Chain A
Amino acid sequence: MTASGPPEDLLRDLVPQVLGTLIDRYGQFSEAEDAVQEALLAAAQQWPHDGVPGNPRGWLVTVASRRLVDQWRSDDARRRREETVAAIAPAGQAEVPGTDDTLKLLLLCCHPALSAPSQVALTLRAAGGLSTAQIARAFLVPEATMAQRISRAKQAIKAAGATFTLPPPAEQAQRLRVVLQVLYLIFNEGYTTTSGPQLIDTGLTGEAIRLTRTLRQILPHDGEVTGLLALMLLTDARRATRTAGDGGLIPLSEQDRSRWDQRSIAEGISLVSGTLSHGPLGPYQLQAAIAAVHAEAPTAQETDWPQILALYSLLERMAPNPMVRLNHAVALAMVKGPQAGLDLLSTLEEALAGQHRLDAVRAHLLELAGDMPAAKASYQRAARRTRSLPEQRYLTGRAARIAAG
């Protein structure tokens, strides 16, 4: 492999393979993962001066193996050390990069025994190769807190008896769904952040896309993996236009579409079209299809709402949940008028009680219906209920605009 991109990308692409090799040789996921982190650090310090080695993967495996052995030596695990020193081959040459290792690693990091925040943290570190400090910055928590979460996640994996192997086929589909959920969580965390420090050049969205792309190379025929990648690309295409210069949120209908990233859109549309015509449908494919309809509309007014409505109806049948119904109500309002949407919203009172999204959508539909006092009150209620500063600003602004108008 040669350094085609910046060293950081190269490094991070190699992480699952290097870690996979170490786990295969020595077992011990937790210790191997620590050793790979140290090897990454060494590479980040040495490669810029000494140049990228001819076999970067072999270099990393060698350095990480030495760290692992040093660790054991300092732990006074003499017997194990002697065995492993003997086992360390001249590293790396002529080994086939294991794509299976990436899959096994993702499945391990997203083990169902872990809480969602732990799955996210461990995936970013062990599969993504981010440092604890980088992950802590992305989630705005102290590094010690994140280090503790990662360490607990590793303990939970050990306690669950999880191994670095592919689960039986019957279980694999279900486990893969969790991986997709975690990748989508990472993407959304990045996408919804309007300020705060940049994690890496492309942020968490870029990291989620990179990992999903890798996963798709391993499972090119899984429609939902492809659907998720398409959904991320189509959503990410709008990233530059979703916030104003001052950090304020700009809704989809008011975004400057000429600034949407056409390359991401083209790739996303091509991916989702390909997968829709093949295998069984799934929620990510449908959401990607909806994002594609938005992306294809030259202006907000020209949006093909009947098609979006049809897709939401399908999605609600396949994966019913209150948030899907909320979006379904918006589409219904755009096709059949605001009252139809409001009627559907009234079925969500219980499921979304106290949640600002329900109030925000209701406010929007009431505004469309021309009931200004009720719309204003709904926007204000939504503003009080949200925990997000940018959303609060947006909703307060909407309420104020009604007062002024």
Chain B
Amino acid sequence: MKYILLIRNNADFLESLSAQERDGIMADVDKIVAELRETGEFLGGQALGHPSNTKTVRVRDGLPVTIDGPFAEAKEQLAGYLIVDVETEQRALDIAARWPDARFGAMEVRAIMDETGTEM
């Protein structure tokens, strides 16, 4: 079963960390990704650019309106994602719980729809 683990955090908080703290977080991340590659569960993942470099596009009355910044002034923004293929939902939740951002932000675990369907 495939899941996307959405990483939500506060970019300002991350910037406030010391280099050593940030290195520790990256080491945790590297370790988890290496483990997921080893188990054959890792399908991919990316980090996203800073929220301040985001643009939001809406079309209203047929006209596109582009504004700077993410769509809302939420405390936590989407910072990246990883996609895993795991045997159970619990396994996806466990991976999310170990991800460093779960400690100071949040991890959102969502099922990825698949193209197979049983005969009804």
Check if A391 sits within 8 Å of B120, measured CB to CB: yes
| Chain A residue at minimal CB-CB distance from B84 | A145
B113 located at the interface, meaning its Cβ lies under 8 Å from any Cβ of chain A in the complex:
yes
Q: What residues on B are CB-neighbors of A193 within 8 Å?
A: 115-116
Q: What residues on B are CB-neighbors of A242 within 8 Å?
A: 119
B55 located at the interface, meaning its Cβ lies under 8 Å from any Cβ of chain A in the complex:
no
Residue A389 contacts which of B39, B117, B119 (CB distance < 8 angstroms)?
B117
Check if A194 sits within 8 Å of B120, measured CB to CB: no
Q: How many residues on A have C-beta within 8 angstroms of the other chain's C-beta atoms? A: 34
A391-B40 contact, Cβ under 8 Å, with A115-B87, A141-B85: no
Check if A387 sits within 8 Å of B1, measured CB to CB: yes
Check if B115 sits within 8 Å of A145, measured CB to CB: no
Check if B120 sits within 8 Å of A360, measured CB to CB: yes
A252 CA to B37 CA, complexed, in Å: 41
B111 located at the interface, meaning its Cβ lies under 8 Å from any Cβ of chain A in the complex:
yes
A394 located at the interface, meaning its Cβ lies under 8 Å from any Cβ of chain B in the complex:
yes
Check if B119 sits within 8 Å of A189, measured CB to CB: no
Check if A196 sits within 8 Å of B40, measured CB to CB: no
| Chain B residue at minimal CB-CB distance from A149 | B40
Check if B119 sits within 8 Å of A152, measured CB to CB: no
| Chain B residue at minimal CB-CB distance from A121 | B40
A390 located at the interface, meaning its Cβ lies under 8 Å from any Cβ of chain B in the complex:
yes
Interface string of B76-120 (1 = CB under 8 A from A): 000000000101000000000000000000000001111111111
| Chain B residue at minimal CB-CB distance from A393 | B117
Q: What residues on A are CB-neighbors of B116 within 8 Å?
A: 189, 192-194, 388, 390
Q: What residues on B are CB-neighbors of A357 within 8 Å?
A: 118
A249-B117 contact, Cβ under 8 Å, with A141-B43, A387-B1: yes
B69 located at the interface, meaning its Cβ lies under 8 Å from any Cβ of chain A in the complex:
no
Q: List 22 A-B contacts (CB under 8 A).
A: A116-B87, A141-B43, A145-B85, A146-B40, A149-B40, A191-B119, A192-B118, A194-B116, A242-B119, A249-B119, A251-B120, A252-B120, A360-B120, A387-B112, A387-B113, A387-B114, A388-B113, A388-B115, A390-B117, A391-B120, A392-B113, A394-B120
B residues bordering A, Cβ < 8 Å?
1, 37-44, 85, 87, 111-120
